[in-house]
Structure 1
Amino acid sequence: MTSPAEPRDRVLDAGALRALAHPLRAQLFDLLSQYGPQTASGLAALTGESTGATSYHLRALARQDLIREVEGRGTARERWWERPVGMVTLSNPELSHTAAGRAIQEAVHSETLNIRQQRLLHFAIHGWEEPEPWREGSLISTASARLTAEQMTELSARLQAVVDETVQRYRHQAGDGLRVVTMRADVFPLPAEGGSS
């Protein structure tokens, strides 16, 4: 077990990316990122998997230092797991030089984006069921503009700064009326007119 540390940014190596390429492991990592510490049985209830399966895959994530056991919490029978605070980068430039490295990154991105897209789709379909303050405070927006690479980079940095500041300010907030809220910022160039880039 390790003690909580200052937030750290981490570019994942091949071993960690291989661990996250598994659909259930990607889902467990995402749930721990969003909801905080959980047990294998709690995660089994959230995913519909068996406790044995979630326990096995949690240990696989822990071997790659993607998650860790929560210090001072739980028992030998009921271990609590958490994701260390800090940004994780799923793209590793060193791995992009080989077909195998690109394939593992593509698999991880596919699993991660699939999870995000399923959550967005669920909200788009069922969001009307939310109480009005949650419904009115949500945003699903798409816009396009003609930008230079430098302008796009500046926009990305500004959006990330807002997200980072919000996460830092409210990460440990406790009390009534709170829910986990996901924040998405998607900024990328579309294919050039005519299909070439």
Structure 2
Amino acid sequence: MAEKKPGASHEENVRVLDAGALRALAHPLRVQIYDILSQYGAQTASTLAERTGESTGATSYHLRALAKHDLIREVEGRGSARERWWERPVGPVSFGNPEALKTPSGRAATQVVITEYMNRRHQQLLRYLSEGLRGADDEWREVSMLSTATARLTPEQLSELTQRIQAIIDETVDAYRHQDADNVRPVTIRADIFPLPTEGNLT
């Protein structure tokens, strides 16, 4: 599984997190902090505390833990000794390290990271649906898309499909990476494409 920060170019090399970085990230609050920095940009321990409902001491501690493995970095030229700003470096990141998956600890860390990451995405989707049912953000709801479909494909056809969709996502991210205006807000782009269980084994 790969995660891409808005502003990252598809031409940049994907950083495959090593076992140490995966273990450092394998904590629910750290995944949440990392994802907030990816989606909303630079934050301080105080702003993260407000967004997560945790104490400033807790967010500060986890920020330092993430920084030790270069998962995040301090924003140069911004903030002070008492108010440090942190950002997620631009560039795609992969949570699937083949070497890490060969060890029990590596598999456990990978599972925690991916599970927490997807749980957060799922909660964001449920919140969006709830607000949509209440009539909030009608303008945004009308131009959003939630769609599922099923096709019968070969591995080669699946590869072609994922590459085409990824190219559209990359083009959009590259085109609007620096956009900043009154009516601009972060938009999550999900592409879940995977094979279903074979007939006779549907559980």
Query: Which residue in the other structure is 2:4 paired with?
Result: none
SS at match of 1:93: coil
Aligned to 1:105: 110
Deviation at 1:87, TM superposition (A): 0.3
Q: Is structure 2 residue 87 aligned with structure 1 residue 85?
A: no
Contact persistence 2:43–2:87 (CA under 8 A): yes
The offset of 1:157, in angstroms, is 1.1
Residue-by-residue CA offset, 1:13-33 (whole Å, 9 max, x unaligned): 011111211000000000000
2:39–2:186 CA contact under 8 A, matched in 1: yes
- The residue that corresponds to 1:35 in the other structure is 40
Match of 1:141 in 2: 147
Q: Structure 2: how far apart are the matches of 1:96 and 1:9?
A: 18
Partner of 2:189: 183
What is the alpha-carbon distance in structure 1 between the residues aligned to residue 110 and residue 137 of structure 2?
A: 38
TM-superposition CA deviations, 1:89-135 (whole Å, max 9, x none): 00001112222222211111111111111111111122243332201
Given that residues 95 and 101 in structure 1 are in contact (C-alpha distance below 8 angstroms), is that contact kept between their aligned partners in structure 2?
yes
Query: What is the Cα deviation at residue 8 of structure 1?
Result: 4.4
C-alpha distance in 2 between matches for 1:44 and 1:28: 9
Give how far 1:56 is off: 0.6
Q: Secondary structure at the match of 1:65?
A: coil
Of residues 166, 169, 178, the one that matches 2:175 is 169
- 8 Å Cα contact 2:22-2:106 kept in structure 1: no
Number of aligned positions between the proteins: 192
Paired AA for residue 17 in structure 1: L
Deviation at 1:184, TM superposition (A): 0.3
Distance 1:79 1:99 in 2: 36
What residue identity is the alignment partner of 1:92? N
Give identity over the alignment, percent. 64
Query: Is structure 2 residue 12 aligned with structure 1 residue 10?
Result: no
Tell me the residue number matched to 1:24.
Answer: 29
Distance 2:157 2:123 in 1: 30
CA contact (8 A) 1:40 1:54 kept: yes
Residue identity matched to 1:169: A
**Which SS does the other structure have where 1:45 is aligned?**
helix
Which sections of structure 2, spanning at least 5 residues, go unmatched?
1-7
The two structures have a TM-score, normalised by structure 1, of 0.93
Q: Which runs of 4+ in 1 moved over 4 A?
A: 5-8
1:52 pairs with 2:87: no
- CA–CA distance in structure 1, aligned partners of residues 176 and 148 of structure 2: 26
